[in-house]
């Protein structure tokens, strides 16, 4: 098809050229048989994704069952400022320009706001890396740090599963008590929409450390927060298993499609 294109301002094919293309066409009953197999395989993929989506909302359900609505605090837990339950600090990227090639392409993970927003609560992947020079002008945050976006994607969160750097569009939270990290992550998910809607806007929406540190957070006893963390770890294991199964189903569907068009199904 590329060889048949006519070059003017842009390459193009004519309708007659497309209409003259030859395609292998199995008999209609065979087409229906193949389509039925692919439909069944696709239905399995859809059900698995739906199950994963339900798991994503399970954390909030567990939170409400154990602690009540964090916005109304019906169980009357003591309320403290977010800044009093741990350390909140912005990521660091001192060098200018920030995209200097000398900073990038090394072995050190560099987390961006999109990595946090798309993490599903736990940051397991990254698209960018820092060189040794990049790390020296930044800061390496330890595994277990809660990342909170404060620009573009507002108040999206994800817990690092590896040591990583991030720029000042992300805030790192480390709790005074380890069990508080999971609690804070889910608590913030209830506030995310409100924080985003009310974020000041210049070139783009953003919030600052003062806003985060001043948030009121209900704080149940540490024993309950630890129990909550254990429940979320069970959920995470289920999600990991479901994700592996979903990838296997995707691979199976792709294989079935390939076999179908080779006449091997």
Residue 264 makes CB contacts below 8 A (sequence gap 6+) with none
Which tokens sit at 93? 């990227």
Which tokens sit at 151? 């620009």
Residue 263 is predicted with a pLDDT of 79
| Mean pLDDT for the stretch of residues 232-256 | 80
User: Is residue 260 scored above 90 in pLDDT?
Assistant: no
Got the DSSP string for 11-57?
EE--HHHHHT-------HHHHHHHHHHHHHHHHHHHHHHHHHHHHHH
Residue 171 is predicted with a pLDDT of 96
User: Closest Cα partner for 67 from 217, 213, 181?
Assistant: 217
Least confident of 40-44, 73-77, 153-157, 233-237: 233-237
Over residues 148-191, the pLDDT tens digits come to 999 878 999 999 999 999 999 999 999 998 889 999 999 999 99
Domain boundaries, the chain: 87-207
Residue 129 is predicted with a pLDDT of 96
| Pairing status of strand 104-110 against strand 6-7 | unpaired
Residue 238 is predicted with a pLDDT of 74
| Mean pLDDT for the stretch of residues 103-112 | 96
CB atoms within 10 A of CB 150: 24
Count of CA atoms in the C-beta half-sphere (13 A) of 181: 23
pLDDT band at 99; cut points 50, 70, 90: confident
Q: Is 221 exposed, middle or buried (0-12, 13-18, 19+ CB in 10 A)?
A: exposed
87-207 adopts what CATH topology? Adenine-n6-DNA-methyltransferase TaqI; Chain A, domain 2 (3.90.220)
């Amino acid at each position: 098809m590329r060889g048949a294109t006519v070059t003017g301002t842009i390459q193009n094919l004519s309708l007659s050229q497309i209409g003259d293309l030859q395609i292998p066409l199995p008999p209609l009953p065979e087409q229906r048989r193949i389509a039925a197999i692919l439909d069944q395989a696709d239905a399995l993929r859809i059900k698995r994704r739906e199950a994963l989506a339900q798991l994503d909302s399970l954390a909030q359900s567990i939170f409400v069952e154990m602690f009540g609505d964090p916005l109304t605090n019906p169980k009357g837990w003591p309320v403290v400022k977010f800044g009093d339950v741990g350390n909140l600090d912005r990521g660091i990227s001192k060098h200018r320009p920030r995209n200097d090639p000398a900073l990038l392409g090394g072995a050190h993970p560099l987390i961006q706001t999109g990595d946090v927003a798309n993490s599903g609560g736990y940051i397991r992947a990254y698209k960018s890396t820092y060189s040794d020079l990049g790390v020296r002008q930044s800061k390496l945050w330890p595994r277990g740090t809660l990342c909170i976006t404060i620009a573009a994607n507002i108040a999206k969160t994800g817990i690092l599963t590896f040591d990583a750097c991030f720029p000042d569009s992300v805030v790192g939270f480390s709790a005074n008590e380890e069990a508080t990290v999971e609690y804070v992550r889910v608590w913030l998910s209830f506030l995310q929409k409100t924080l985003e809607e009310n974020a000041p806007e210049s070139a783009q929406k953003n919030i600052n450390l003062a806003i985060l540190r001043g948030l009121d957070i209900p704080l149940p006893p540490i024993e309950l927060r630890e129990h909550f963390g254990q429940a979320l770890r069970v959920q995470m294991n289920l999600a990991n298993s479901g994700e592996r199964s979903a990838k296997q189903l995707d691979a199976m569907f792709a294989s079935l499609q390939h076999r179908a068009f080779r006449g091997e199904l």
